[in-house]
Structure 1
Amino acid sequence: MTKKILIVEDEYSINDILTMTLINEGYEVESYFDGKTALERIKIFKPDLVLLDLMLPDIDGFEICKQISNDHLVIMITARDSIFDKIIGLELGADDYIVKPFEIKEVIARVKALFRSIEKEKQVLSEEIIELGEGIKVDLFGERVFKNGVEVPLKRQESALFFFLLKNRNRVFTRPELLDSVWGYDYYGDSRTVDVHVRRIRAKLGTPTIIETVFGKGYVMR
């Protein structure tokens, strides 16, 4: 099935090149120049991925990301290149972050890498429910996580990271190793991506000990 991408970018030249290049790559594309229209179309178009500029004329891109990131993949595209802005974007649920000016080939590579990461077949471990303590139970077969009987809505990459560490319990992984194993060897992000996702998992599960930080090395799930 053809992947659907929605572009929200108010610079006409950038909007045009993103739109035409992604169409030529075989994606179904809609593009808009303001946040309000984009939010209305997202509900109808139901894109697999949103390419989102931060500096829009009407609605801040961070606010849009906050509204849509639970249901859609989001790659932020912006001229704001500070580490603070990148971390805020990731904290709000963005899956990747591209800084202008960019090479269009890099954008396409990141889009393809993100789609590949979510299309990999999930490894089925068993059909049992295991308990991790502090009210956390895991459905290994369905790859779902529960806290006190309520399912915790992990995003795709959060879930991929959680279950990768779960399947490799007691093994310490460095940040680069996790980027390669969970995001893919051709992922262009930096190690802060791992830190942000670990923080989000801990916050959603309400325990800082579910994933342990090994000082100077990386992360492990015991």
Structure 2
Amino acid sequence: MDLSGRTALVTGANRGLGRHFAEQLLKRGATVYAGARNPSSVDLPGVIPIALDVTDPESVAEAARTATGVSILINNAGSYTRASLVEGSLDDIRLEMDTHFFGTLAVTRAFAPQLAEHDSSAVLNVLSVLSWINAPGFAAYAAAKSAQWSLTNALRNELADQGTQVTALHVGFLDTDMAAGIDAPKNDPAIVAGLALDGVEAGEVEVVADDHSRSVQAKLAGGVVALYPKFA
């Protein structure tokens, strides 16, 4: 799929990985709608800023009325509350689900008719290695990402008949503001954005962007004890 001449929408495009997606789509010849809760925070020349809060149904509907001709949708908007499932705020837990699961679903549903108007189109969902494994400090986030992974697989099935390919991006920590307080190796978001867009162009249904994600993916077949050795 050639991205040149396409119209793309990137959610959460005002910073981090989303900004890199928007920038690289421009360089590949696409017209880019840059979605953000506050469109004035979008500082990338050449994109079209658009107000979009993925947790607000009316905001999503208005974005679908404003952004037209979209054939590439990148569901990148995210949240990270650090909430525990047992002791954390239910509001924080709901925010994680509202952002990653229901937000991705709402935006995809809103733009599916536009995607269907093209002979070929694509959705890229930004997932995580934490779609496959949970860890202290990431309980609510990882649960929401797991739900988003299942959602991605379901959307891939449901949108195939209209010619929309759905690609999942799995990646570990990124060197962005969201992960600023995490002491762990981090990936360059510019490189990850490039790998993901290469995958979309190549028609790949899954992009596993780093060694850590590939290692965790390889352990899935081993079951719980392979992922969580302390329970062996």
Q: Tell whether the structures are fold-level matches, with TM greater than 0.5.
A: no
- Tell me: higher relative CO, structure 1 or 2? Use CA pairs within 8 A at least 6 residues apart: 2
Query: Which has more helix, going by share of residues?
Result: 2
TM-score by length of 2: 0.42
TM-score by length of 1: 0.43
